[in-house]
Structure 1
Amino acid sequence: MQFCYAPDIRTAFPQLQSRVLLVDGIDAKADPSAQIARLNAIADRRLAATSEGEFPEIQAWRRAFSAMGLKPTNYRCASEALLRRYRKERALPALHPLIDLCNAASLAFAIPVAVFDTARVTGAITVRPAYGTEIYETFAGDVEHPERGEVIFADDTNRAHARRWTHRQSGWSAIRPDTTQALIVVEALHKTAGDDLAVLTSSLTEALAANWPAAAVTELEPL
């Protein structure tokens, strides 16, 4: 499994930092509620001090979306969307133990955390501008074609697994009850991104080991 960036993405966003974890041996039976509670408490403290729109992590993604020609308040990165929902509802819906854990990490660190079922991905995932011919499947099962030039996560079959970079993942490769292997991708653009991603992935690795002790967790080098 490989996770790559097209050269023009690296050129346009030289400040980009990312880390990737491959997790083999997960199931839907784990109960990460203790870890989720600790992560939510971090988000609570941050939101008590200021709104998510003031977080440097979110502001960096808003600048990136503006640079891509997108209105940041119309197309929010995944972590901002989660934080907004959490602030209003004080909870997020339970979906799958792994997704719930990664969503809590995204809340705590204000950093997008993408999770893919590797069985639904063919070849490498590359973050690149879309050709406009890729197939993207929504969670409702509808098929869309990304706009030409839009930043997407694409695999070797021309399938888009995320649209508008960190805005919206595809239902095609979403984690399911029978998922056994997952790819976790964390990306950030703010000044302390490198250090913050290191802490985030360390926290996730510890939580994964606690909840899926038989799982193998491998950190991959983004290309």
Structure 2
Amino acid sequence: MTFTLTVSDEVRALAPGFTHVAIEAYDLVNGPSTEASSALLDEAARRLAARLGGRAPHEDPHLSAWREMYTAFGAKPSRTRNSAEALAKRALSDAGLPRINLLVDLYNAVSVARLIPVGGEDIDRVRGGMRLVRATGEEVFVTVAGGAEAIEHPEPGEVVWCDDAGVTCRRWNWRQGPRTRLTEDTVSGIFLLETLAPVPVAEAEDAGAELAELLEKFSPGARVEVHAPATAGTPA
């Protein structure tokens, strides 16, 4: 892996069943949402409804495990939902899934259909690789509030993704900062699919393969590399 990802010992101790699949992609083509990416989101919503069979998203065993993990590091999961649960609720509502841009649509579709938190960062905007750590509370998270730039600090013990410039995503996979998000100008991305037990490693690998195939389909000529799942017992 040319892009560096590390998971701290403190996070591994908190979540021994945590696994993530990383996908590096270069020479991507992004732009506004298309009819094809919109159709993928609609199909993902149908796959979600069939998977849930009338249950609420948080009743799915994987999302239930994420709720327990959020509680373990001090978050309130009913107020700050992980990204997969938040998207699933949108998918099942009258509002439906948002259309953001082509690349975001692709990973959101996989996230909703699989009920796996998936995130994407612009590699060219990340400083010095990314680390999953438990925050001290002094880290800086730059976000937007009321249309203006705002600075927040994570709670001590909160699980965050960060780089050398600050926090890139708060509460593990709850809120991404605008600095590293995928925009229509993005040409290089790192995509993370994050799972907890009881999701088998093979299911995480299958979801990663699905996303990689979509990236190659929508960005012909892109260089896409899927990295083997990193678990609590292996390097990130």
C-alpha distance in structure 2 between counterparts of 1:32 and 1:206, whole Å: 14
Residue-pair matches, total: 222
Shift of 1:85: 1.4
Conserved 8 A contact 1:27-1:180: yes
Aligned to 2:233: none
The one-letter amino acid paired with 1:150 is E
Instruction: Give deviations 1:147-185, integer Å, cap 9, x for gaps.
Output: 22211101123x100111111111111111111001100
CA drift of 1:70 comes to 1.8
State the 1:34 CA deviation: 4.7
Deviations 1:81-108 (A, max 9, x none): 1111111125212111010111111110
**Separation in 2, partners of 1:143, 1:208:** 33
Code of the residue aligned with 1:21 in structure 2: it is I
Using the TM superposition, give the Cα deviation of residue 219 of structure 1 relative to its aligned residue in structure 2, in angstroms: 2.2
From 101, 109, 131, the counterpart of 1:104: 109
Deviates more, 1:43-52 or 1:6-15: 43-52
Does the 8 Å contact 1:47/1:87 carry over to 2? no
Q: CA RMSD in A?
A: 1.7
- 1:51-66, aligned counterparts within 5 Å? 51-66=56-71
Cα separation, 1, equivalents of 2:113 and 2:144? 25
2:207 aligns to what? 200
Work out whether residues 32 and 207 of structure 1, in 8 Å CA contact, stay in contact via their aligned partners in 2. no
TM-score, with structure 2 as normaliser: 0.88
**Does 1:123 find its partner at 2:119?**
no
Are the structure 2 counterparts of residues 182 and 139 from structure 1 closer, same or farther at C-alpha, using a change threshold of 3 Å? Answer: farther
> What does residue range 1-223 of structure 1 map to in structure 2 within 5 Å?
1-29=3-31, 31-89=36-94, 91-140=96-145, 141-157=149-165, 159-220=166-227, 222=230, 223=236
CA contact (8 A) 1:43 1:109 kept: yes
Per the TM alignment, residue 195 of structure 1 is displaced from its structure 2 partner at its CA by: 2.0
Per-residue Cα deviation, 1:47-82 (whole angstroms, up to 9, x for no partner): 443211111110010110111122210121110011
- Quick one: percent identity of the two aligned structures? 29
Unaligned 5+ runs, structure 2: 231-235
